Structure 1
């Protein structure tokens, strides 16, 4: 259950980060004052790479990761049940 919550939160953060980047790219930043445009360009460079929660700085916690963990866990459990039975 905890893994699902962490992966769900990670997915939301990643989606929101991508939405911010897309919104900044859609802005007509070239029509802004130079100081504001410069700040926006710096934010665009940073937002190019989405934010995400990682597990041990190894892999991002997203719903795709949760599905992979779930599939692996079910595979291990079924392997143990067939070996034991």
Structure 2
């Protein structure tokens, strides 16, 4: 259950960061005054690489990761049950 919650939260954070980046790219930043455009460009450069929650700085916690963990766990349980029988 905890893994699902962490992966769900990680997915939401990543999606929101991507949405902010897309919104900044859609702005007509080149029409702004130079000081504001420069600040926006710095934000765009930072937002290009979205923030994500990771497990041990190794892999991001997303729903794809959760599905992979679930699939591997079910395979392992199935293997143990066949070996035990």
TM-score interval, normalised by the smaller of the two chains: over 0.9
Query: What number of residue pairs does the alignment pair up?
Result: 85
Contiguous gaps of at least 5 residues in structure 1:
none
Report the TM-score when normalising by structure 2. Answer: 0.99
| 1:2 corresponding residue in structure 2 | 2
| 1:55 corresponding residue in structure 2 | 55
1:16 deviates by 0.1
Contiguous gaps of at least 5 residues in structure 2:
none
Moved over 3 A (4+): none
1:62 deviates by 0.1
1:66 deviates by 0.1
Q: Residues 19-38 of structure 1, C-alpha deviation per residue, up to 9 Å, x if partnerless?
A: 00000000000010100000
